[in-house]
């Protein structure tokens, strides 16, 4: 048995280290039990074909660490294995519960990693095949050449000054944001920004309004910070907050995606934007404006931000380069109101350590040189073509079964499933065919805090990675999946079918 354990490991270790680790693991696992007398050093060395000194070394280490005792009868195991230590001494004895994460963390909604093999139609992933990699690599190489020794230490936690300056200038021009560089804080992306918002702008137990349906990442960040989630319904004009909501359950944080509601795609009306600022000021609330892909609007220029509608509005503006450049860059930013910027900077410095100096400097140059703006113009045209291709494929293969919601831009479509099927069930079936259909129902929050919430049944379909000809093939596959699910459902019920079901089944 000892020889088997010694030969099991494949790491490049010395013979004596390899033998020691193998025996130690066997003792911990209980495969070599307490009281077992190990083979003599000479016998084990001959059996394994190694030097006797290697065996002596391994035995000596085991003795030093208390796993083995050296007696006149030889080396005897005296350690209790980890599994036995956790076992009750008496069968009737109750086991103590194992330590667990905080309850609010255990109750977070599950999130699919996107690495399950289902890649087609994933939302949130840009057209990486169209990224100007050569230009970006050249910018990074220039940044690396210009680095000096002092740049390799811990820098300003808020980010490299050049990048903060570039971001401030860019959002002032493109999004109408009112800010100075000292209000800009570079983060690891939108999720990192949301985590800071939930922890630094609200206290445990305070209310956070979130859109319903809405972005799962916001729900996760607020729940992990111990905030009380209040789902707010969304209609064609965005988050629909009522006067009684402000009176009866005033928020501390209001999270929303006003320029391109996630996942439905609607736009928050100007009337509601202005009312939101007024009501937030009246009750001392912060508005978290997630502007995740407004640069990619297809129909007209990007919409002005809520943050820029009023002087010193109580708005924390969030942006990211994961959608416009590439996710692995892991650079986003948040812009906080001027009146709290200094205080926020102190707290931010305590919690955050900044890195990726070369990437930040390269991004600053990418923005200032105009390459970023040119890249966005190309992407808007490309995404418009791919969106139109996906819509055409849906109309061709799934007419009467799926309805496309009005959507002015971005990288995804919201579609309603009109067939009498569950979006979650169809999504699960589609995954086996390599399709990543994000069910809209997963973005909804049910329960007593959402009494008027509408349960959405449909999908979020990303098209940034999907050329029109590919979209046509994918929608053919999806239509076949829907037909199969409808046929299976009809055979079980033998009841009347809906008009949508008849439409699809006639096409089979």
Could you tell me if 76 and 69 are in contact, meaning their C-beta atoms sit under 8 angstroms apart? Answer: yes
Q: How confident is the model at residue 8 (pLDDT cuts 50, 70, 90)?
A: very low
**Helical packing angle, 190-200 and 338-351, nearest 10°:** 100
Could you tell me if 4 and 41 are in contact, meaning their C-beta atoms sit under 8 angstroms apart? Answer: no
Beta strand pairing call for 402-404 and 412-417: antiparallel
Q: What is the pLDDT of residue 354?
A: 75
* Structural domains in the chain, sorted by start: 2-85 (1.10.10.10), 128-373 (3.40.640.10), 375-507 (3.90.1150.10)
Average pLDDT over every residue of 291-298: 86
**Helical packing angle, 468-493 and 499-507, nearest 10°:** 120
Q: What's the Cα-to-Cα distance from 396 to each of 391, 393, 401, rounded to whole Å?
A: 9, 5, 11
Q: What is the pLDDT of residue 409?
A: 79
Report the distance separating Cα 236 and Cα 53, nearest Å: 78
Enumerate the H helices of 294-337 as residue ranges. none
Q: How confident is the model at residue 7 (pLDDT cuts 50, 70, 90)?
A: very low
Long-range Cβ contact pairs of 366-369 (< 8 A, separation 24 or more) = 366/135, 366/136, 366/139, 367/166, 367/167, 367/169, 367/170, 368/166, 368/169
How many percent of the chain have pLDDT more than 90? 62
Q: Cα angle vertex 474, ends 472, 475, to 5°? A: 65
Nearest to 28 by CA among 66, 69, 70: 66
Q: How many Cα atoms sit within 13 Å of 87 on the Cβ side?
A: 9
Report the distance separating Cα 282 and Cα 301, nearest Å: 32
Could you tell me if 318 and 284 are in contact, meaning their C-beta atoms sit under 8 angstroms apart? Answer: no
Q: How many Cα atoms sit within 13 Å of 9 on the Cβ side?
A: 20
**Helical packing angle, 371-397 and 357-368, nearest 10°:** 90
Beta strands in 194-338 (DSSP E): 207-212, 228-235, 238-239, 253-256, 286-290, 315-320, 332-335
Per-residue pLDDT of 108-154, as tens digits, reads: 666 654 444 557 899 989 999 999 999 999 999 999 999 888 778 77
Instruction: Mean pLDDT check: name the lowest of 54-68, 362-376, 438-452.
Output: 438-452
Residue 298 has pLDDT above 80, yes or no: no
Report the distance separating Cα 409 and Cα 7, nearest Å: 59
Residue 10 has pLDDT above 50, yes or no: no
Report the distance separating Cα 186 and Cα 163, nearest Å: 8
Q: What is the pLDDT of residue 502?
A: 56
Per-residue pLDDT of 40-78, as tens digits, reads: 989 898 888 888 999 999 999 898 888 889 888 889 998
Q: What is the length of the chain?
A: 508
Q: What is the pLDDT of residue 211?
A: 96
Average pLDDT over every residue of 226-246: 94
Q: What's the Cα-to-Cα distance from 277 to each of 243, 253, 271, 316, 359, rounded to whole Å?
A: 14, 12, 10, 12, 35
Could you tell me if 2 and 39 are in contact, meaning their C-beta atoms sit under 8 angstroms apart? Answer: yes
Beta strand pairing call for 332-335 and 184-187: antiparallel
Residue 447 has pLDDT above 70, yes or no: no
Report the distance separating Cα 356 and Cα 359, nearest Å: 5
Per-residue pLDDT of 491-505, as tens digits, reads: 765 555 555 555 554
Nearest to 311 by CA among 285, 339, 334, 288: 339
Mean of the per-residue pLDDT values for the chain? 86
Which residues neighbour 295 within 8 Å (Cβ) at sequence distance 6 or greater? Answer: 174, 302, 324, 376, 380
Nearest to 296 by CA among 210, 404, 372, 214: 372
Instruction: Mean pLDDT check: name the lowest of 128-132, 224-228, 371-375, 451-455.
Output: 451-455
Burial class (CB in 10 A: 0-12, 13-18, 19+), 129: exposed
Average pLDDT over every residue of 79-108: 55
Residue 369 has pLDDT above 90, yes or no: yes
């Amino acid at each position: 048995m000892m020889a088997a354990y010694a030969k099991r490991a494949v790491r490049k270790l010395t013979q004596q280290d390899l033998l020691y680790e193998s025996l130690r693991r066997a003792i911990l696992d209980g495969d070599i039990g307490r009281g077992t007398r190990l083979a003599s050093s000479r016998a084990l060395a001959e059996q394994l074909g190694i030097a006797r000194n290697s065996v002596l070394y391994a035995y000596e280490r085991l003795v030093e660490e208390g796993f083995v005792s050296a007696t006149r009868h030889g080396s005897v195991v005296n350690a209790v294995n980890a599994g036995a230590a956790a076992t009750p001494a008496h069968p009737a004895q109750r086991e103590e519960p194992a330590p667990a994460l905080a309850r609010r963390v255990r109750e977070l909604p599950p999130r699919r990693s996107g690495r399950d093999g289902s890649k087609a139609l994933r939302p949130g992933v840009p057209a990486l095949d169209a990224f100007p990699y050569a230009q970006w690599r050249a910018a990074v190489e220039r940044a690396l050449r210009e680095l000096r020794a002092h740049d390799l230490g811990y820098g300003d936690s808020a980010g490299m000054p050049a990048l903060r300056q570039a971001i401030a200038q860019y959002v002032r021009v493109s999004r109408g944001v009112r800010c100075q560089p000292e209000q800009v804080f570079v983060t690891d992306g939108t999720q990192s920004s949301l985590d800071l918002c939930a922890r630094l702008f609200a206290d445990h137990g305070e209310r956070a309004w979130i859109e319903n349906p809405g972005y799962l990442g916001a729900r996760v960040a607020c729940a992990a910070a111990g905030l009380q989630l209040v789902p707010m319904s969304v209609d064609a004009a965005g988050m629909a907050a009522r006067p009684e909501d402000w009176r009866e359950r005033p928020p501390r944080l209001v999270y929303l995606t006003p320029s391109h509601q996630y996942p439905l795609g609607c736009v928050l009306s100007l009337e509601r934007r202005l009312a939101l600022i007024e009501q937030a000021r009246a009750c001392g609330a912060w508005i978290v404006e997630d502007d995740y892909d407004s640069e990619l609007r297809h129909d007209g220029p990007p919409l002005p931000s809520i943050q820029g509608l009023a002087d010193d509005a109580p708005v924390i503006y969030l942006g990211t380069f994961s959608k416009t450049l590439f996710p692995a860059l892991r650079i986003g930013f948040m812009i906080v109101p001027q009146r709290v910027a200094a205080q926020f900077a102190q707290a931010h410095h305590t919690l955050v350590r900044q890195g990726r100096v070369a990437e930040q400097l390269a991004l600053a140059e990418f923005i200032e040189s105009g390459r970023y703006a040119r890249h966005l113009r190309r992407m808007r045209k490309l995404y418009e073509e791919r969106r139109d291709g996906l819509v055409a494929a849906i109309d061709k293969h799934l007419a009467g079964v799926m309805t496309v919601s009005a959507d002015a831009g971005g990288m995804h479509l919201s579609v309603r499933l009109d067939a009498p099927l569950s979006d979650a069930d169809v999504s699960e079936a589609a995954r086996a065919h390599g399709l990543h259909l994000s069910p809209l129902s997963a973005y909804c929050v049910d329960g007593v805090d959402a009494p008027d919430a509408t349960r959405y049944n449909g999908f979020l379909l990303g098209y940034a990675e999907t050329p029109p000809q590919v979209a046509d093939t994918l929608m053919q596959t999806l239509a076949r999946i829907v037909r199969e699910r409808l046929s299976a459902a009809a055979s079980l019920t033998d009841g009347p079918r809906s008009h949508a079901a008849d439409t699809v089944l006639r096409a089979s």
